[in-house]
């Protein structure tokens, strides 16, 4: 039996056909230029917010490291000055 020309042939699974129709409706919705623009803007905004928060975190970590190094540097300078004062006498 040639199913291509049989007008009484029904689709084997009507669920599958309904899913195909739903997917095609979703795809036609995604072809709308305003939807595409909204998706693009939301993706750009989301990635920008994520990268900004990551950058702020890295800046805070860097500042903490620099403060620690500055404290160590000041401690070493105090030790050197104290040693020079002891050598002067």
Confidence of residue 7 (pLDDT cuts 50, 70, 90): low
Owner of token pair 């909204």: 38
Tens digit of each residue's pLDDT (9 = 90 or more) over 10-54: 555 556 667 777 777 777 777 888 988 999 999 999 999 999 999
Supply the pLDDT for residue 64.
96
Supply the pLDDT for residue 27.
72
Of 5-9, 42-46, 55-59, the poorest mean pLDDT is in 5-9
Sign of CA dihedral 8, 9, 12, 18: negative
Sign of CA dihedral 68, 71, 72, 73: positive
Supply the pLDDT for residue 40.
95
- Reply yes or no on whether the pLDDT at 3 is more than 60: no
């Amino acid at each position: 039996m040639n199913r291509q020309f049989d007008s009484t042939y029904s689709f084997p699974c009507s669920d599958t056909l309904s899913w195909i129709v739903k997917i095609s409706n979703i795809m036609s919705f995604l072809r709308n230029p305003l939807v595409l623009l909204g998706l693009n803007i939301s993706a750009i905004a989301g990635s920008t917010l994520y990268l900004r928060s990551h950058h702020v975190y890295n800046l805070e970590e860097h500042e903490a490291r620099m403060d620690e190094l500055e404290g160590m540097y000041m401690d070493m300078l105090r030790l050197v000055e104290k040693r020079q004062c002891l050598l002067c006498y």
